[in-house]
Amino acid sequence: MQTPLQDLRAGFRDVLPLALGAALYGLAFGLLAAQAGMSVLQTGVMGSIVFSGSAQFVAVERLVAGAGAFTALVAGGALNLRILLMTASLRDVLAGRPFWQVLLGVHMTGDESWALLHATRATGRAVGYWYLVGAGACMMVAWVSATSAGAAFAAVLPEPHAMGIDFAFTAAFIAILRGLWSGRRDALPWIASAITVASLALLTPLEPSWALVAGGILGAVLAGVWGKDA
Amino acid sequence: MLDAFTPITLVILGLTVANLTIRLSGYYLGAALPQLGAWARGLKALPGTLITALVTLQLIHGGPNEWIAGAVALGVAIISRSLPLTMLAGIAVIFALRHWI
């Protein structure tokens, strides 16, 4: 068992490759924010209090596209529905903590810190709450500084798609999936999730965020109903 | 100071409230669900199924380049079990495919 400080440091360190990816992605968000007419201060404040890369991207992209604040909000909010499932799956990490720690923990929960926590635990390391907070803090430093820098230096930055940066997170999540794989009992829920999201996204006009949530839930239901306790 | 409520500040504040509500609701939902049996198994399986859904969606939105790079990344992940190596391999392959092929 590690002390909270060791856990915090380990989380901060282990998430560094992902933070680097987020920083590059953050520069791209800063570019977009500048196009939306956001100041460097607004960009930095948004990064720290919203702290959700994909939702920020979608919402500000809608603003740039000329949609109103309400449409932008709904689009960004819908994309974050998956976070509901993420913080729900953190219950053993958050259980019994004082409310300020719950607040801090859920605010530090992003795709990267959350997935890394689960992947690290799958390797048998007994990391917990402070590991998540450390990883989230590192992500926040990278995200806030990169998005602000992107907004400040929008005119001189290269286009992220050409650099292949947009693929960094797909690759990262593939690596994290490898870490989460615990044997054949995962196969059915995972395949069901992939087929659900693919069919909903390709065959129906459903918002991709809803397809994502539906796939995740259906896979989990299968694991719950037909699975056996490990 | 009604001037302060531009679409931008509305979106920033609105998303902050929406996000915090979603994040906290998940915490309360998780705490309210049974600790054993089917609910617990489902919740435990959720990280894997949710990330599978996310990767599937990202690959659907891409094209053959992304599928090839995704397959290479998966191979590197299986062999190396390393997050930085997998990210590097994925980015290198997608960069090469987009620029030279």
Q: Is the pLDDT of residue A172 over 50?
A: yes
- Across the interface, whether the CB atoms of B83 and A219 are under 8 A apart is answered no
Residue A87 pLDDT: 95
Q: Report yes or no: A176 at the B interface, CB cutoff 8 Å.
A: yes
**A120 min Cα distance to partner chain B (Å):** 11
Q: Is the pLDDT of residue B42 over 50?
A: yes
Residue A96 pLDDT: 93
Confidence of residue B100 (pLDDT cuts 50, 70, 90): confident
Examine the domain organization and report whether A107 and A195 are in the same domain. Answer: no
ipTM of the complex: 0.86
Q: Report yes or no: A42 at the B interface, CB cutoff 8 Å.
A: yes
Q: How many residues does chain B have?
A: 101
Residue A114 pLDDT: 94
Examine the domain organization and report whether A36 and A95 are in the same domain. Answer: yes
Residue A191 pLDDT: 97
Q: Are A137 and A15 in contact (CB under 8 A)?
A: no
CA A28 from chain centre, in angstroms, equals: 16
**A48 min Cα distance to partner chain B (Å):** 9
**B6 min Cα distance to partner chain A (Å):** 9
Residue A229 pLDDT: 63
Examine the domain organization and report whether A174 and A198 are in the same domain. Answer: no
Examine the domain organization and report whether A63 and A172 are in the same domain. Answer: yes
Q: Are A57 and A85 in contact (CB under 8 A)?
A: no
pLDDT digits (tens, 9 = 90+) for A93-111: 999 999 999 999 999 999 9
> A44: which 2 tokens?
């930095």
Candidates B17, B12, B4, B2; CA nearest to A36 is B12
Residue A138 pLDDT: 98
Residue A159 pLDDT: 72
Contacts of B77 in chain A (CB under 8 A): 174-175, 177-178
Tell me the C-alpha distance between A123 and A138, whole Å: 21
pLDDT digits (tens, 9 = 90+) for B45-97: 888 998 899 899 989 988 999 999 999 999 999 999 888 899 899 999 999 99
pLDDT digits (tens, 9 = 90+) for A209-223: 788 889 999 999 999
Examine the domain organization and report whether A20 and A126 are in the same domain. Answer: yes
> A212: which 2 tokens?
């994502």
Tell me the C-alpha distance between A159 and A144, whole Å: 19
Residue B22 pLDDT: 95
The helix-helix angle for B83-100 and B64-80 (nearest 10°) equals: 150
Q: Report yes or no: B20 at the A interface, CB cutoff 8 Å.
A: yes
Confidence of residue B4 (pLDDT cuts 50, 70, 90): low
Residue A2 pLDDT: 80
- Across the interface, whether the CB atoms of A193 and B95 are under 8 A apart is answered no
Examine the domain organization and report whether A99 and A207 are in the same domain. Answer: no
Examine the domain organization and report whether A67 and A158 are in the same domain. Answer: yes
Examine the domain organization and report whether A159 and A193 are in the same domain. Answer: no
Q: A44-53, A115-124, B1-10 — which is least confidently predicted?
A: B1-10
Q: What total of structural domains would you count in chain A?
A: 2
> A105: which 2 tokens?
């923990």
Examine the domain organization and report whether A206 and A127 are in the same domain. Answer: no
- Domain interval for residue A67: 4-181
> A137: which 2 tokens?
């803090």
Examine the domain organization and report whether A169 and A187 are in the same domain. Answer: no
Residue B1 pLDDT: 46
Q: Report yes or no: B62 at the A interface, CB cutoff 8 Å.
A: yes
Mutant choice from A41, A170, A184, A222 vs B, greatest count of B C-beta within 10 A: A170
Q: For chain A, what is the mean pLDDT?
A: 90
> A17: which 2 tokens?
């490759």
Which ranges of B1-101 does DSSP label H, i.e. alpha helix?
7-32, 37-61, 64-80, 83-100
Contacts of B9 in chain A (CB under 8 A): 42
> In the block, which residue shows the tokens 């997608």?
B94
DSSP A186: G
Residue A4 pLDDT: 93
Contacts of A86 in chain B (CB under 8 A): 26, 47, 50
Write the burial class of residue B34 (CB in 10 Å: 0-12 exposed, 13-18 middle, 19+ buried): exposed
Average pLDDT over residues A43-71: 89
Q: Report yes or no: B79 at the A interface, CB cutoff 8 Å.
A: no
Write the burial class of residue A138 (CB in 10 Å: 0-12 exposed, 13-18 middle, 19+ buried): buried
Q: Are A14 and A119 in contact (CB under 8 A)?
A: no
Tell me the C-alpha distance between A213 and B1, whole Å: 39
- Across the interface, whether the CB atoms of A198 and B83 are under 8 A apart is answered no
pLDDT digits (tens, 9 = 90+) for A136-163: 999 999 999 999 999 999 888 777 677 7
Examine the domain organization and report whether A19 and A117 are in the same domain. Answer: yes
- Across the interface, whether the CB atoms of A91 and B30 are under 8 A apart is answered yes
Phi and psi at residue A160, to the nearest 5°: -65, -35
> A45: which 2 tokens?
């404040």
Phi and psi at residue B35, to the nearest 5°: -85, -10
